Amino acid sequence: MGKYSTSPQWADITPLPTNEGGPNPLAAIAYSDEYAETMSYLRACMAADEASPRVLDLTEDLIDMNPAHYTVWLYRAKVLIKVSEERGDLLGGLKGELEWLNEIALSHQKNYQIWHHRNMLVDKIKEVGGEGAVDVRAEQEFVERMFGLDAKNYHVWSYRQWLVKRFNLWDESKFGELEFTERMLKKDVRNNSAWNHRWYVINGNPSGGGVEQDEGVRDREVAFAKKAIEKAPQNCSPWNYLRGVVRKSGVGLGSLKGFAEQYANLEIEVEGGVRSSHALDLLADILGEEEGEGGKVKAGPARILSSCQVSI
């Protein structure tokens, strides 16, 4: 006998077992008895459109067993809102759910449904209580805590970008998003997700700005990328970032020729002349642009570019 079938609290519910194709299904899914029973009670509640505290407890049990069950999360959200409204404290119910969700997220780092649920909660908190009802700083801090467990978690980075856009966290002097990326890159300069977020914060503001419109920002970001390259010349992330900055600002790749030559000396054929294959790629593109524009490319560098094999 299971937990729900023996509980007086659930005596009024007739469970609905899963239908896998009749009494002798070809390939029945091997659910545990506990999970199968719990799901059968949720199906019955959903069929009756029940929204009650006991259904919240039921969904919590199911999430503990299978945190990736999208339908359970969706129904929990619906029930949470209705129960909280009936209690006369929708805002409190939403905030309490957010605190509960923190622990779930920390235990199940790769789960996408958790972050979809979080989006819904934060959006609803803002809708009910206004923008000031959302503790944005606490959200930023929690996300950074998640990155302490996995600094390249795609779902968490997506949520961080959503947070920036949803609450207009573009102003560095107020919200510290660039400083956050610097902390992340200080820990791992090869974290492409952190580079991508930095680009988004600088250039994603729908109101404008960024490297395309602000020369000071462009120069700062060029210097930032070059400094990162000095630490790890064979790291592709800052090279790609550097390319993006100059292209978007309209300066052109040719402005990086002297810098790239510091890491790929094409004038001499000696071991160690090329310290970064990414610098070599950049020089190839620069020389190709020069040739395409009718410029005269020196034979030596062109020959080396076409024939050298780099092993770094």
Active site residues: 110
Inter-CA distances, 154 with 99, 120, 135, Å = 22, 18, 23
Q: Distance between CA atoms of 49 and 38, rounded to whole angstroms? A: 16
Say which residues have a Cβ less than 8 Å from residue 246's Cβ, sequence separation at least 6. 218, 222, 252, 253, 255, 256
Query: Which candidate, 37, 110, 99, 43, places its Cα nearest to that of 75?
Result: 43
Say which residues have a Cβ less than 8 Å from residue 273's Cβ, sequence separation at least 6. 264, 265, 266
Start-end of H helices in 48-135: 53-65, 70-86, 90-107, 112-129
Please report how many Cα atoms fall inside a 13 Å half-sphere around the Cα of residue 235, on the Cβ side: 20
DSSP assignments along 278-303, one per residue: HHHHHHHHHHHHHHHTT----HHHHH
Q: Distance between CA atoms of 198 and 140, rounded to whole angstroms? A: 15
On whether the CB atoms of residues 54 and 23 are closer than 8 A, the answer is: no
Q: Distance between CA atoms of 301 and 306, rounded to whole angstroms? A: 9
User: Residue 94's CB: how many other CB atoms inside 10 A?
Assistant: 25
Query: What would the two tokens of residue 225 be?
Result: 């990328």
Q: Distance between CA atoms of 37 and 33, rounded to whole angstroms? A: 6
